[in-house]
Structure 1
Amino acid sequence: MQKKWCINLCALAAVVGLSACSDKEVGDVSLGLFTTKDIKIDALQDPDIPGVTCHISSIEANLDLSDPSDSAIACRQTGPITAAMLSNIDTSDSDDVIFKKSKSIFFKNMKVRRIFDAKSQTLIYLTYSTKETSGSYKHSLSTVPLWGTQAYSAQPASD
């Protein structure tokens, strides 16, 4: 009975471990020999604007119930951005959540939101934690200007 229990537990651990692997992961940096924390770097292509790729780094603590809230984001134009792509996105101030990743078994998530600044014709990508840490929410920001793309309009939207 104990052997069967051990085998089932090992199988469950393997499934959980493999499910944590991301096909979007492009890098993994160990923070040292005496820690179980690693910096994971994921590549995220905007689902509505495939000409934008964001790289997000965050800390994963393999043996903890909750990962640290710190993250960083850098987004760049990696392909064409057209007016047709922009017509498919939410251009209101409420923005779109384009990525969400669980950072804890207790409702903490890391989210990436896309906001379109029509006046400066810039896509803004904001990553943040949904749980307050030390009195503030951890967040990071990156922008992709539309200048030089097919989506750029010489007459920006008025207020």
Structure 2
Amino acid sequence: MRMANGLLGALLILPVLASAEEIGEVSTVFKWMGPNDKIVVEAFDDPKVQGVTCYLSRAKTGGVKGGLGLAEDRSDASIDCRQTGPISFTGKLKEGEEVFKQRTSLVFKTMQVVRFFDQKRNALVYLVYSDRVIEGSPQNSMAAIPIMPWPAAK
């Protein structure tokens, strides 16, 4: 019982990250063996901001290594976020807080989305980038959402 309580406590202090839903994909390079290289489009809702959905497109490496999960995906990614309902906050926002993270190689490389709040302009800013244990990539993309009133249903 004590171990279960400790595990539950440890899980509660971990950051809440969004999980992505695949919207679609297109092939970019034909591979004779294994899946083709492709661009995948995914959507995720910000776990701490109700009414915001982000759409992410990213490169996914195919071939035999890609099919087995051993290939390293390119750092190319793009993001666009939209207000999809009334915006409300379910927790305290932290500057540069990670809201989405996905492994893009077997061990060392990840793609992540972080959120900033531009208080002066009353906007949420989302940034996607890739990093490695040793060296990241300067390739990035960002989207900004002005926090606006949502029309009431009639």
TM-score (norm 1): 0.69
Q: 1:46 aligned to 2:43?
A: no
Quote how far apart the aligned CAs of 1:71 are.
Answer: 0.1
* Pairing partner for 2:83 from 73, 77, 99: 77
Quote how far apart the aligned CAs of 1:148 are.
Answer: 3.2
- What letter corresponds to residue 100 of structure 2 in structure 1? F
Counterpart of 1:105 in structure 2 is 106
Q: 1:26 aligned to 2:23?
A: yes
- Structure 2 residue runs of 5 or longer lacking an equivalent are 1-18
- Structure 1 residue runs of 5 or longer lacking an equivalent are 1-21, 151-159
* Pairing partner for 1:88 from 86, 91, 105: 91
Mapping for residues 1-159 of structure 1, pairs under 5 Å: 24-34=21-31, 36-62=36-62, 63-64=65-66, 65-82=71-88, 85=89, 88-91=91-94, 94-131=95-132, 132=135, 136-149=137-150
TM-score (norm 2): 0.71
Aligned residues: 122
Quote how far apart the aligned CAs of 1:50 are.
Answer: 2.4
Q: Distance in 2 between matches of 1:142 and 1:52?
A: 12
Q: Distance in 2 between matches of 1:90 and 1:138?
A: 25
**Percent of matched pairs sharing the same residue:** 37
What's the Cα RMSD here?
2.2
Residues 21-60 of structure 1: CA deviation (Å, up to 9, x unaligned) = x860001111143472110011010011120000000011
Quote how far apart the aligned CAs of 1:88 are.
Answer: 1.9
Q: Which has the larger radius of gyration?
A: 1
